[in-house]
Amino acid sequence: MDIRIIKTKRQYRLYLEEVQRLVPLDPDPRSAEGARLELLAKLVEDYEKERFKFRKPDPVEAILFRMEERGLRQTDIAEIVGGKNRASEVLSRKRPLTLAMVRALHEKLGIPSELLIREPRAEYRVERKPRKTRNAG
């Protein structure tokens, strides 16, 4: 097999199959097969990074994903973010995360802090109650 930069799906599949064949053999990196595996793996990785781009989740999506993954409920998150109301407001995108919440979610749930500090996909909706005015009468 002549090794070149991957340009087609067919070429990608062939290289990937060759990587999958070589990996279980665990060739010495200094051997010809080891060098071949390293080169093919790098080409496959580069192709995948270019073709299969994933968008990063916003903070709320990251929290919801981790909750689902660990079988957590909103009450479990409430303990981390400072109460039921705060958890509800955060998960409904009415309240942004504070630095303390980011730290707690990162430490307790292992959510990468760089995901938690991202801007949310939707704007936070903060509703203000109208002020009562006094009648000057």
Q: How does residue 137 score in pLDDT terms, banded at 50, 70 and 90?
A: low
Q: Are 12 and 6 in contact (CB under 8 A)?
A: yes
Q: pTM for the complete prediction?
A: 0.54
**What band does 130 get if pLDDT is binned at 50, 70 and 90?**
low
- CA angle 130–134–135, rounded 5-degree value: 125
| Chain segment 2-24, per-residue pLDDT in tens | 788 999 999 999 999 999 999 99
